[in-house]
Amino acid sequence: MDFLRSLWNGSISFGLVNIPIKLYTAASNSDIKFNYLHSVCHTPIKYRKTCPNCDIEVDDSEIVKGYEFQRGKYVIMENAELEAIAPEKSRSIDILDFVRLKDIDPVYFNRTYYLQPADTGAKAYFLLKQAMVEKEQIAIAKIVIRSKENLAAIRVYKRGLALETMFYPAEIRAINALFDSEEEPVANERELNMAMALIDNLTTKFQPDQYINEYQNLLMQTIEKKVAGEHVVPAAAPAPAGKIIDLMAALEASVEATGAGSKGSLKRATKAKAEEIS
């Protein structure tokens, strides 16, 4: 992986120990991006900031930040007011606590970064790493990135340390709002055993290299063909799926398709699965 430059330089504050580090983005978005063009002349479309009330284009110097506290009513926040309450532009990752990774629900994790020790911090960096391995703990910390205060987790990742920015509890939406007060439907023993058998058939060791973004690969192949002047033939439409209205029938078909350990059989079965299971 090519790391162009560090995103953030600072130190990990571990008690009275400061460990100089550099922070790098661990992953990059590989989505294929498109520009919006005018269909007549293929010129890229420009987006202008306009005021619909004054019917004029507005310069950046005339734009202020407003918070809508009631529909159509705003309180204006001046830059000086925002700067006065902005988090201190600290260059320190302050460790607050140590916890077990399994105690953190993945919903809290946001984005992953790698932490690289600076030349003078290597010994303390790897000491912290080794101690975390021995204690089977990860660190909860705070870090300011681009003027935003982030909750974060520092954990051992392969040969080094990784930092995961986290959502604060107030940012996590409550899932209970999606469900009514009625009790969950209870599956009978046969249905439950069949569902667990299906899980057993599909259980394997996680090997991330086997998961491929098939749509992106096909999209890139299509683009390359068009660049080369080749005619692109649309893919055949999938056959309409039938309806399976019996849950046990769907489970039995799925277990049978995966019983020999064939993921391909499952994919074929999935294409013909029910539009609706009740």
- Per-residue model confidence as pLDDT tens digits over 169-201: 999 998 887 887 777 888 888 888 888 888 888
Mean pLDDT confidence for 8-36: 88
Better pLDDT: 42 or 215: 42
Contacts of 8 (CB under 8 A, 6+ apart): 22, 23, 143, 145
* Per-residue DSSP letter, 44: B
Single-letter amino acid code for the residue at 250: A
Same-domain check for residues 14 and 129: yes
Domain encompassing residue 104: 8-29+86-171
- Per-residue model confidence as pLDDT tens digits over 256-276: 888 865 555 555 444 444 333
Same-domain check for residues 137 and 244: no
CA distance 79 to 64: 8
Mean pLDDT confidence for 128-138: 95
Same-domain check for residues 90 and 153: yes
**Mean pLDDT for all residues in the chain:** 83
Q: Tell me, yes or no, whether 55 lies in a domain.
A: no
- Per-residue model confidence as pLDDT tens digits over 57-66: 999 889 999 9
Mean pLDDT confidence for 21-50: 88
pLDDT value of residue 120? 86
Which residues of the chain form beta strands (DSSP E)? 8-14, 17-25, 50-51, 56-57, 65-70, 73-77, 92-99, 109-117, 138-145, 148-157, 160-166
Same-domain check for residues 221 and 250: yes
Same-domain check for residues 90 and 165: yes
pLDDT value of residue 244? 54
Q: In which element (H, E) is residue 274 found?
A: none
Same-domain check for residues 15 and 101: yes
pLDDT value of residue 278? 37
Q: How many domains does the chain have?
A: 2
**C-alpha to C-alpha distances, 168 to 109, 142, 147, 171, 236, nearest whole angstrom:** 10, 11, 16, 5, 46
CATH code of 20's domain: 2.40.290.10
Please name the residue that has the structure tokens 């033939």. Answer: 233
